[in-house]
Amino acid sequence: MNKFLSFCKKIGNKFLDIVFPLNTKCIFCNSEIVDFDKKPYCDDCEKYAFNKGAKCIKCDTRIKEENKICDNCKSHKRYFEKCFCPLNYEKAVRSSILSFKDSNAKYLAKNFAKIIFEYIKDENLQFDYITFVPSHKTSIKRRGYNPAKLLAEELALLFDKPCFELLQKVSQTKAQKNLNYNERAKNLENSMILTNAKLIKGKTLLLVDDVVTTCATANQCAKLLKNYAKKIYVTAVARNHLKTEKQN
């Protein structure tokens, strides 16, 4: 049934692309581009958008070239194997993701998912299911959707894997923006529950989020999932690099 639904969605997406073409402008800065199907972003944005260079082997944040792992991953137990973030959360990329998250730009999910897919497809990740970071019902009511869920559903089509809602946000937490890692972790305690433990027993999962900063949210989700799952990989559209490794 999952494969049939995936096939129907693929056909539907193709039809929408033909009838309502969105493929004319850079998904970041909205400038006109020549070949959207080849890459949905302009040359100027491409110069800074992608997460390149020396990065932590665990959480994908920028580090000094002589290091392999960031201070944050050294200091805190990670319940996921590795995090993959193709873009840098800055400039026009940041604006585009904020539109996706809070301004009903749901159409961006498809192209963001393609960018994630291209970033990790050669990593030879072996996983059984895709899941996503949950949103509280209050946030979903305000937005009308969960951005991470939209990304996960698009990635499920690209990887041809089932996507399941495995976590539920049971309490509304305060905004994480101005909190450090320990404060974020504390803020998230007891805010989520695992809803289908039997399904994931012994399985490897790909956990999807929109943006990663300290990895506190992804880590809390992975901690719950890891009680039953074998391995957890994490991916997000963008990495919000903190100013120093110590802050991370």
For CA atoms 32, 33, 35, 38, give the dihedral sign: negative
Does 16 reside within a domain?
no
Does 73 reside within a domain?
yes
- Write out pLDDT tens, residues 191-211: 899 999 999 999 999 999 999
Going by pLDDT thresholds of 50, 70 and 90, the confidence category of residue 35 is: confident
Average pLDDT for the chain: 89
Core vs surface per residue 199-210: b (16+ CB within 10 A) or e: bbeebbbbbbbb
Predicted confidence at residue 171, as pLDDT, reads 87
Does 32 reside within a domain?
no
Q: Categorise residue 26: left if φ over 0, alpha if ψ from -120 to 50, beta otherwise.
A: beta
Going by pLDDT thresholds of 50, 70 and 90, the confidence category of residue 1 is: low
Q: How many CB atoms lie within 10 A of CB 65?
A: 7
Going by pLDDT thresholds of 50, 70 and 90, the confidence category of residue 189 is: confident
The mean pLDDT of 109-125, rounded to a whole number, is 95
Going by pLDDT thresholds of 50, 70 and 90, the confidence category of residue 153 is: very high
Predicted confidence at residue 8, as pLDDT, reads 60
* pTM for this model (two decimals): 0.87
Domain encompassing residue 110 = 53-239
Predicted confidence at residue 23, as pLDDT, reads 56
Predicted confidence at residue 13, as pLDDT, reads 52
Predicted confidence at residue 6, as pLDDT, reads 57
Does 103 reside within a domain?
yes
Predicted confidence at residue 198, as pLDDT, reads 95
The mean pLDDT of 118-134, rounded to a whole number, is 95
Does 18 reside within a domain?
no
Does 123 reside within a domain?
yes
Going by pLDDT thresholds of 50, 70 and 90, the confidence category of residue 2 is: low
Predicted confidence at residue 38, as pLDDT, reads 86
DSSP H or E run through 147: helix 147-159
The mean pLDDT of 214-218, rounded to a whole number, is 93
Does 77 reside within a domain?
yes
Residue 87 has pLDDT above 90, yes or no: yes
Q: Do residues 72 and 213 make contact, with C-beta atoms less than 8 angstroms apart?
A: no
Predicted confidence at residue 4, as pLDDT, reads 60
Residue 175: CA count within 13 A, CB half-sphere: 2
Residue 170 has pLDDT above 80, yes or no: yes
Residue with tokens 């390149």, as numbered in its chain = 52
Q: Name which of 152, 142, 132, 49 is nearest 104 in CA terms.
A: 142
CA distance 28 to 86: 14
Quick check: helix, strand or coil at residue 131? strand
Q: Which residue did the predictor score with more confidence, 16 or 142? A: 142
Does 218 reside within a domain?
yes
Predicted confidence at residue 176, as pLDDT, reads 76
Give me the number of domains the chain comprises: 1
For residue 58, give the DSSP letter. Answer: T
Return the CATH number at 160: 3.40.50.2020
Predicted confidence at residue 246, as pLDDT, reads 44
Q: How many CB atoms lie within 10 A of CB 189?
A: 10
